[in-house]
């Protein structure tokens, strides 16, 4: 039986309403892994005929979550960043994304001096999804041609977040669609 975008959104809305914390978000992550196995969804939203770039597939009026599709033609490595008061789930459709997680060591929580330590490094392969709650610091690295879906708890264009410059030892507030901006 097909698991399409509409069903994913309904199931995710129900999961977040029933369990608004991490348990609900983890159900959304598992739903996304299921969606990423559906050939119809992959062809329609992330197929070879889709234009390069980011597209909004769904913005939930009740729960506020946003489903985005990413089709890339160039590789990209983001600096460490967080999602502020939101969360994000990255789900791999093609190729891979290397994920690196960090702990902040300086005891700070905002912009300014920041010292990070890498705690984990792993790869998301097709069909896999990873959950990052708001303040969880991570970086992504993917090759040219990677395609993935990102589900966020809110429209990140309007959520202040932190981007970390490890060489300078500082955190900077960003408010944009990309941690690289």
Say whether pLDDT at 179 is over 80: no
Q: From residue 84, how far is each of 32, 39, 79, 90, 129 by CA, in Å?
A: 22, 33, 15, 16, 20
Q: Contact, 134 vs 84, CB < 8 A? A: yes
Task: Dump pLDDT digits (tens) for 17-72.
Answer: 999 999 999 999 999 999 999 999 999 999 999 999 999 999 999 999 999 999 99
Q: Contact, 96 vs 124, CB < 8 A? A: yes
pLDDT of residue 170: 96
Lowest average pLDDT, out of 75-84, 159-168, 169-178, goes to 169-178
Task: Dump pLDDT digits (tens) for 87-141.
Answer: 999 999 999 999 999 999 998 889 999 999 999 999 999 999 999 987 899 999 9
Say whether pLDDT at 176 is over 90: no
pLDDT of residue 1: 66
Tokens 């490890």 sit at which residue?
166
At 147, the pLDDT band (50, 70, 90 cuts) reads very high
Domain ranges of the chain: 5-174
Residue in 64, 8, 63 with CA at minimum distance from that of residue 32: 8
Say whether pLDDT at 180 is over 60: no
At 181, the pLDDT band (50, 70, 90 cuts) reads very low
Which SS3 state, helix, strand or coil, does residue 57 take? strand
pLDDT of residue 26: 98
Tell me which H or E stretch contains 87: strand 87-94
Q: Domain 5-174 belongs to what architecture? A: Sandwich (2.60)
Q: Contact, 36 vs 93, CB < 8 A? A: yes
pLDDT of residue 83: 93
């Amino acid at each position: 039986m097909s698991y399409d975008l509409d069903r994913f959104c309904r199931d995710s809305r129900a999961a977040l309403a029933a369990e608004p914390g991490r348990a609900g978000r983890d159900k959304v992550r598992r739903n996304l892994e299921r969606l990423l196995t559906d050939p119809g969804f992959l062809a329609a939203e992330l197929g070879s005929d889709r234009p390069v770039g980011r597209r909004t597939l769904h913005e939930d009026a009740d729960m506020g979550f946003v489903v985005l599709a990413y089709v890339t033609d160039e590789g990209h490595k983001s600096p460490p960043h967080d999602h502020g008061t939101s969360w994000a789930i990255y789900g791999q459709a093609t190729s891979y994304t290397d994920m690196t997680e960090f702990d902040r060591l300086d005891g700070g929580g905002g912009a300014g001096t920041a010292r990070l330590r890498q705690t984990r490094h792993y790869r998301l392969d097709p069909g896999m999804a990873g959950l990052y709650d708001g303040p969880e610091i991570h970086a992504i690295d993917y090759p040219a041609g990677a395609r993935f879906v990102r589900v966020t708890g809110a429209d990140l264009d309007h959520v202040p977040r932190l981007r970390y410059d490890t060489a300078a030892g500082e955190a900077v507030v960003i408010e944009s669609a990309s941690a690289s901006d």
